[in-house]
């Protein structure tokens, strides 16, 4: 459990050193309810998120590790990191831009995944600065990825800001980036959630709604075919609140080995930029998470490759004991002109915002947000 945090004083602490001896810092931001997030400079990573349940009891709902050494170890599966330059997969690690073919690392055979191997954004040490005010607490992270890093063209300057408002149990992640050459950019956060608390045995009892009528079908290597298909009549239909475990075994023997699919989000009902992506509920604690975003898609991943590794406090992270809801442009968009473009041009600014808002699920019939 963590204590309440003053709205104007983010707490900075040492979080260990990397294998190369570089110090890593961690910041705590939160509000007077006890809701608090911890974010570190390696990978601009969301390390923990303490959220109250229906009785007011706090629990950390994110998978992670107690210090930076855990994030450098084999047990880390992109827990909580800023993922890029391009999140998700690029087919065969290749794309052509402005008449030139670029070759990237193949780190998810036979494809490129989450920005690469050594200099992907999740492995860089970012510079942090508090951005707090009377409205709440935040930390702004900045980093520069050099022209040619991981095979990508152009120098990319990236800013990621985490902000917790004083009057709401929510965390907003805002991304921005600029480049000096045409280059693909698609950023997300790879947080693994279990609303019962990290280390809980399963996430299959959680209830999920995804605000999407369609998804992007893939080949056997999880690369989109280019088609947009309806979820109706498939195991991927979460338009109504559904227990995650109800249909997962029917797709457990597919290439995705469970849920690992990009959903095409429906437009915002009010015509605004922020659209509802998903609503997740833990029936026992009654914690409810509502995800809204400016992004056109969300990847629902059901923790299919969690392998029982030891996380915070030595707790075990079992198979399917957490899930990801990664807001994003569609996978492999750089190779699909029919998808929303991920190409950032000099003089333009990449912008993206996602909010994870938490409250208590209400009994049936009670008035509440969708």
Helix, strand, or coil (residue 140): strand
DSSP label at residue 186: B
Which tokens hold the place of 84?
Answer: 């890029």
d(CA 344, CA 346): 7
Tokens of 270: 């009010």
C-beta separation of 329 from 164 below 8 A: no
Distance CA 76, CA 72 (A): 7
Q: State the catalytic residue, choosing from 190, 206, 261, 329.
A: 190
Q: Which residues contact 89 (CB under 8 A, 6 or more apart)?
A: 108, 111, 112, 113, 221, 222, 223, 331, 332
Q: Where do we find the tokens 């954004």?
A: 121
* 56 vs 107: CA distance, rounded Å: 42
User: Does residue 190 have an active-site annotation?
Assistant: yes
201: tokens are: 């045995």
Among candidate residues 253, 198, 153, the one with its CA nearest the CA of residue 48 = 198
Catalytic residue among 25, 150, 198, 326: 326
**Residue given tokens 């690369």 in the structure block:** 223
Q: Within 13 Å and on the Cβ side, how many CA atoms surround 347?
A: 0
Identify whether the C-beta of residue 203 lies closer than 8 Å to the C-beta of residue 289: no
Nearest by Cα to 194 from 324, 349, 300: 324
CA distances from 183 to 120, 135, 158, 349 (A): 15, 35, 13, 12
With b meaning 16 or more CB within 10 Å and e meaning fewer, what string describes 132-169? beeebbbbbbebebeeebbbbbbbbebbbbbbbbbebb
Is-contact 313 199, C-beta < 8 A? yes
Active-site positions read 190, 326
């Amino acid at each position: 459990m963590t204590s309440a945090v003053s709205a104007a004083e983010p707490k900075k602490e040492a979080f260990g050193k990397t294998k190369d001896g570089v110090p890593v810092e961690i910041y705590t931001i939160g509000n007077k309810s006890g809701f608090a997030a911890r974010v570190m400079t390696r990978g601009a990573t969301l390390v923990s998120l303490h959220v109250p349940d229906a009785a007011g009891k706090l629990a950390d709902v994110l998978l992670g590790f107690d210090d930076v050494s855990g994030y450098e170890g084999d047990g880390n599966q992109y827990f909580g990191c800023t993922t890029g330059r391009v999140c998700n997969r690029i087919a065969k690690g290749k794309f052509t831009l402005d008449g030139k073919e670029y070759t990237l690392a193949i780190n998810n055979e036979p494809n490129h995944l989450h920005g690469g191997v050594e200099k992907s954004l999740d492995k860089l040490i970012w510079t942090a600065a508090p951005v707090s005010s009377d409205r709440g607490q935040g930390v702004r992270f900045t980093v520069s990825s050099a022209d040619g890093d991981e095979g990508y063209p152009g120098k990319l300057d990236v800013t990621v800001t985490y902000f917790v408002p004083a009057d709401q149990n929510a965390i907003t992640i805002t991304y921005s980036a600029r480049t000096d050459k045409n280059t693909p950019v698609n950023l997300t956060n790879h947080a693994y959630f279990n609303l019962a608390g990290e280390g809980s045995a399963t996430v299959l009892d959680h209830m999920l709604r995804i605000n999407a009528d369609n998804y992007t079908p893939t080949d056997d290597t999880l690369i989109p075919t280019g088609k947009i298909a309806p979820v109706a009549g498939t195991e991927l239909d979460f338009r109504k609140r559904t227990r995650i475990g109800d249909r997962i075994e029917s797709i457990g023997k597919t290439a995705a080995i469970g849920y690992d699919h990009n959903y095409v989000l429906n437009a915002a009902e009010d015509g605004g930029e922020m659209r509802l992506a998903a609503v997740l509920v833990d029936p026992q604690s009654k914690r409810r998470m509502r995800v809204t975003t400016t992004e056109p898609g969300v990847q629902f991943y059901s923790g299919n490759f969690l392998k029982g590794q030891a996380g915070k406090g030595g707790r075990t992270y079992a198979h399917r004991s957490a899930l990801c809801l990664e807001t994003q442009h569609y996978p492999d968009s750089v190779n699909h002109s029919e998808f929303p473009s991920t190409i950032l041009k000099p003089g333009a600014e990449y912008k993206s915002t996602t909010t994870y808002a938490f409250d208590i699920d209400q009994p049936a019939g009670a008035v509440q947000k969708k």
